[in-house]
């Protein structure tokens, strides 16, 4: 699985869009970009994933650059409950068949 680089921490004002970057310059053609988050004292939660097209669901949007070497997770209207550690994971899609490799992630703090 390709290595990812994320900022250690970020702040965002409540109600604004939170944009979390992830660098994955060594990504290969069959690897997907996944995002999970871990709210304090809870298990990680799946957010979204994509291959090369931009994706949107009820939680977030995922923007992947054309060369696929980086991506951005967007939380359109951040709330205090979005304060969490966000993990960007790059891996081949295996439909849940094997475990995940977590990096250090970005600690997103939503400020009131």
Q: What is the contact surface with another protein in residues (CB under 8 A)?
A: 34, 38, 41-46, 49, 85, 87, 95-105
Q: How far is the CB of 83 from another protein (least distance, A)?
A: 16
Q: Of 14 and 107, which CB lies nearer to another protein in the complex structure?
A: 107
Sign for the pseudo-dihedral over CA of 38, 111, 19, 54: positive
Q: Of 1 and 14, which CB lies nearer to another protein in the complex structure?
A: 1
Q: How far is the CB of 16 from another protein (least distance, A)?
A: 27
20, 47, 45: which is closest to 32 by C-alpha?
47
Q: Of 29 and 42, which CB lies nearer to another protein in the complex structure?
A: 42
Q: Of 19 and 38, which CB lies nearer to another protein in the complex structure?
A: 38
Give the separation between CA 107 and CA 44, rounded to whole angstroms: 13
Torsion angle, alpha carbons of 22, 26, 29, 35, to 10: -20
Q: How far is the CB of 69 from another protein (least distance, A)?
A: 22
Task: Compute the half-sphere exposure of residue 103: CA atoms within 13 Å on the CB side of its CA.
Answer: 22
């Amino acid at each position: 699985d390709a290595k990812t680089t994320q900022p250690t921490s970020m702040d965002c004002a409540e109600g604004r869009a939170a944009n979390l970057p992830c660098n994955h310059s060594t990504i290969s053609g069959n690897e997907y970009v996944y995002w999970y988050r871990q709210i304090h004292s809870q298990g990680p939660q799946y957010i979204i994933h994509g291959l090369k097209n931009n994706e949107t669901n009820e939680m977030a949007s995922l923007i992947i650059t054309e060369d696929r070497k980086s991506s951005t997770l967007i939380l359109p209207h951040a709330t205090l409950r979005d304060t969490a550690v966000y993990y960007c994971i790059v891996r081949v899609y295996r439909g849940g068949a094997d475990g995940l490799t977590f990096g250090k992630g970005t600690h997103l703090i939503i400020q009131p």
